[in-house]
Structure 1
Amino acid sequence: MISARALGLAPALRQAVVASKSSRGLVLRSVVATRGVQTQSLPPSAAEKILNEQRLKRPSSPHFTIYQPQLTWIGSIANRVTGAGLSALLYGYAMAYLVAPETFASANVIELVASMPEAVKIAGKTILAAPFAYHSWNGLRHLGWDMTKFITLKGAYSSGYAVLGATAVTTVALVLM
């Protein structure tokens, strides 16, 4: 390593250090005195408005736009959607039965379904059977995960494909009943 003494720079460096120590306070004072930034107090509503405008300009989470769809997160979303849909149907029917028990009695529902065309019956059964089957099989998959089974990447994918296959078979079996 070459030292400052060997290059003959030691006296110049000492002078620069001494000069910077003596003028440091003066330099800082002049920078602070000529500051060009001004602040002002804002009422809370204006501050909140500015914050909301800044939030609108922020990018949203890029998970749908940059990540490749994977069986694990598509399955998770489907499990939540099927669970919410089945719950909404169950609670909706229960509330309707409480409001008008004569209209939604089992005999009336059976009569209504019997009067429908065959294609509508099959479509209705499929719309009800597929979410029920998927949510049931995926619930068992989640119970397996809770018991630390199939938690490797390979296990997650193989159990995911097994759930899809079991869902297809169960949906067809329920529709044909």
Structure 2
Amino acid sequence: MQTKTVAKINDVSIVLIDGAEKQVPIKPICEALGIDHKRQVDKIKSDEILGSVGGLKPSVGADGKQYDMFCIPYMYIFGWLFTINPKNVKAEAKENVVRYKQECYTSLFNHFTDQSEFLEKKQLALEKQMEEVERIRSDFGNAKKLLDEARKALNKVKEMTFEEWQMNKRQLSIDFPN
């Protein structure tokens, strides 16, 4: 059995048990937070989601020995921690639990609102870019007209003969566009 420390709570390592599904024993977390382990196990078992995924697994205790401990999958540990009331933890853990819950609220907000924020910003960018394309298209149309007129004038100069020049009293009469 391989274990890996994934977090520390009040200097207590939170260990991940590698296996088919990564599991986290909750007892060390409860001890670090100063909350009743048995009460948390009961709370997890009664939860319609956590209750279906929690169970006893071989785990390594703080003394290095192997025990059967109640574990939940790693992917659920953060949700379970979110359910812990900061009023019920020991004083030195309270600030961290409150901060953790605030981070969870922020993460949930970002998760559920980022897409709509992205779509709003994308829509604004699309509208702005469409206006820019229309402005450039209009400018291009005007520039194309000016270019066509300038080409006509250039061709007129190219086609002018010496005789035409003499007939014009040695003047080049070229109409330049305004």
| Structure having the larger proportion of residues in strand | 2
TM-score by length of 1: 0.22
| Structure having the larger proportion of residues in helix | 1
Q: Over alpha carbons, which structure has the higher Rg?
A: 2
Bigger RCO of structures 1 and 2 (CA < 8 A, at least 6 apart) = 1
